[in-house]
Every structure is written in C-alpha cells, then in structure tokens.
Chains A and B, each alone.
Chain A
Amino acid sequence: MSTIKVSIVSSSEEIYSGEGTMVFATGSLGEIGIAPGHTPLLTGLAPGPVRVQNGDDEKTFFCSGGFIEIQPDLVTFLSDRAERAESMDEAEATKAQELAEKNMRDKESELDYTKAAAQLAEAAARIKTIQKLRKNK
C-alpha cells in the first residue's frame, strides 16, 4: 500500500514523524482527508484533532492553529502548539473553556473579543478530540 510521509511539528517540539496511508485534519475551510498523491495544497490548520492512519493503526494528535502543507509524497503540519491527545486532561480543557466563556461575557475584562473567541474554539476542539478518543476505545 502506498504511504505518505507525515510530520507534525510545533514550535517547541516534534510531535510525530512517520508514514501514513491516510491523514485526516481540520483545515481552515473544513475537514480534509489526505491520501498519498494529493495535489500540492497550502492551507490553514484549525484547532482540532489530526488523525494519522497507517493500515489498521490509527493515531490521534491534537493541534492548535497553524498551517498544513501538502505535497504528493509528504504532508507537513506546522502547529503553533500541539499535544498528544492521550495526554490531555478533559477537565483542564473544560476549565479553559469556561474561563474563555467567562471572559467573553465579562465586558469589563481587558481581554479582547477575538482572543477569547480563539480560546473558546481551541478548548472546544480539545474536548472534541478527547471525546473522539474515548469513543474509539
């Protein structure tokens, strides 16, 4: 089976590097599936899970915003910050989401709206990733 080279990096570490037969991620314009031989594509990466399938094996990673570069034989995820989905703490994510929501409601807060909205989107994506992982188990 043909494979595509996958690398997921964040500014502070390398998250994953290996082969995959199929990769799923959330681009800035919606979910995309990447198979070997994909046409060159450059797109934004939305916060959310990135699934790397290699045969029957599937790994899930959480990526916050960044970029995806696709070449026919390789795909690179440049994430601002990425975490291994397994190590994520749902309570922590929910807390972050609550805080972000509170900041959004709180008009007095100095935090600007766009930043709060981004935080909220990220927290929601994190929870989505964890729930997806749970379901798969």
Chain B
Amino acid sequence: MANTKEVRKQIASIKSTQKITSAMEMVAASKIKKTQNEMQLGRPYSEKIKEVISHIANSSSEYSHPFYEHRETKRACFLVVSSDKGLCGGLNINLFKQVISKSAELNAQGIESNFALIGLKAASFFKSVGGDVVANVQKLGDKPDPDALIGLTKTVLDLHRNGEIDQVYLCGNGFVNTMTQEPKVEQLIPLPAEEKDELTATHWDYIYEPEAQDLLEGLMTRYIESLIYHAVIENSACEQAAKMLAMKNATENAGDLIKELELLYNNVRQAAITQELSEIVGGAAAV
C-alpha cells in the first residue's frame, strides 16, 4: 500500500503542472485573437494580387511566365511550414505525415524530393528522418515578418528557374476554426492555369512600363511570396489554436488525475486509521 506522504507529494506536483498548463491555455487563447487579426489584415493584399494576376492571365499577353509552364518533373520541392514551439498536439506531426506520404507517392513515380523548411519543428523532424533540405528559416516568432521569408522564397524560385526543381508544393496547416486545423499539401508551381473568361477576353493587353518580362517576373515572385506569407500566418493561427486545445486537455486530464489520487489518498489514510484502531483494540484484548 502506498503511503500517504508519497500520494500527497504526487498530488502537489500534478497541481503545479496543472497551473502551468492552464496558464499556457490562457496565453494561447489571447494569442489566437492576434494571429487571426493578422490573417484578416493580410487578406486584402493577397486578394488584390490574385485579382491582378488573373487580369494578366486574361489579357492576351505574348509573354507567358515559367511558373505556368508544365514541364517534365524530375524533382519536386516541398515547402513545409511548421511551428517553432511544441506543445501543440499533433499539429506538426499530422502535417509531416502528409508531406512524407506525398513525397513517397512522387518517389514511386520516379520524382525525387527536396525540402525547404520554415520553423524549428520541421527542421528537427527532417533532420531525424533525413531528406535533402535546401533552405531553412526558423524562429519567426508570433509576428512573422514578411522580409524573413524572402531568402527562402528566393532560394526555391532560383532552383526552379535553373531547372533543378520542376514542381513546388506548399505544405501548411489550414485554419478551419479554433477546434479544427487541416494539414494541406498544395501545388504552388506550376500555378494552376487561370480560367480565361471568354466573354471579356477581347484582345487587349497591358502597356508595360518598363519591360513585360521584368514586371511579370517581379509580380509573380511577389505573388508567390504573398502565398507563402499567408501560409505562415495561417499556420501560426493554427499553432495557437492547437496549443490552446492541447493545454485545455492537459489541464482537464490533470484534474481527473488529481481526483483519482485524492481518492487513493483518502483510502490509504482510512486504511491506516483502521489498522491503528484494530491494533489498539487487539492490544487491549490481549491485556
């Protein structure tokens, strides 16, 4: 039988853990608001740039961008967006599982993969699993800076330009609501062809100042950057939501455990009292 002192010690330690997890839950809950707000703020830009890109696709421009070009694929790059910190349930690992299965699927078709990683968790995961990592950014913090992603984006796009990779997949968690996050693996390059609007597709084209090629190159790069930035922001909202849920569960589990241990403690205490009483009674009878 466990002794009362041991049980009491255990209860105290679980109680202090519970305090920590419930504090973390509250921190995550307040951060969700902020990250969701940031998602909202970033939305007009991504919508507008998408609009401009679709206008360009609808114009009868003679210059077609390599990002739309479907070429024979030998190598694909996975751009994996993960969180820097753990304690957020299965958020990261669910995503990694999907990335690995997609990569295996491509491998079966004779397509090799390499990886560009955002976040510490992805870095440590792919270090242990092994994989050709071409770029890595970590410690973006709660307020990711778009500038921090430029280097990684450039590395990936340069590889695509040089023909070293032919496809790029953007992998990150999609924010459905605070209870649900969905790992997504989406094809980034080649970009899905924009639907041409036959009715408005009269033959018009932009005047480009200075050169069509330079402008579109810059604009497409910015577009890809904005998509990646959006994925990072969305993932950070997911991280906070998953963290809140994980910490809420942990707090509840700690509560259950404390209840069980208190029951055990009372049992043990009662048993000790009963034993003592019977010893006294037995002693008295013997005298």
Residues of A within 8 A of B (CB): 7, 9-14, 17, 27-29, 39-44, 66-67, 69, 71, 76, 78, 80
Contact = CB atoms under 8 A, between A and B. Distances in A.
A69 B55 contact: yes
Contacts of A39: 207
Contact of B218 (A9, A67, A76): A67
Contacts of A41: 206-209
Nearest to B225: A11
B44 A42 contact: no
B52 interface: yes
A7 B52 CA distance: 12
B42 interface: yes
A41 B41 CA distance: 27
Contacts of A28: 209-210
A43 B212 CA distance: 9
Contacts of A12: 38, 41-42, 45, 146
B52 A69 contact: yes
Interface string B171-214: 00000000000000000000000000000000011111110100
A74 B206 CA distance: 14
Contacts of B226: 11
Nearest to A27: B209
B137 interface: no
B269 interface: no
Given A7-B44, A11-B146, A67-B215, A42 B222 contact: no
Interface of B: 38, 41-42, 44-45, 48-49, 51-52, 55-56, 59, 146, 204-210, 212, 215, 218-219, 222, 226, 229
A44 B44 contact: no
A43 B222 CA distance: 14
Contacts of A44: 209-210, 215, 218
B263 to A, nearest CB: 53
Q: Of residues A17, A69, A80, which shows the largest number of chain B Cβ atoms within 10 Å of its Cβ?
A: A69
Nearest to A13: B41
A11 B208 contact: no
Given A9-B44, A12-B146, A76-B52, 20 more contacts: A7-B44, A9-B45, A9-B48, A10-B45, A11-B45, A12-B38, A13-B41, A14-B45, A17-B44, A28-B209, A39-B207, A41-B207, A43-B215, A67-B222, A71-B55, A76-B51, A78-B48, A78-B49, A78-B219, A80-B222
A40 B210 contact: no
- Pick the most buried of A11, A14, A28: most chain B CB atoms within 10 A of its CB: A11
Contacts of A67: 52, 215, 218-219, 222
Given A11-B229, A67-B222, A78-B222, A42 B209 contact: yes
7 contacts: A7-B48, A12-B41, A28-B209, A42-B206, A43-B209, A44-B218, A78-B52
A26 to B, nearest CB: 12
Contacts of B45: 9-14, 78
A44 B212 CA distance: 11
A95 B5 CA distance: 65
A69 B55 CA distance: 9
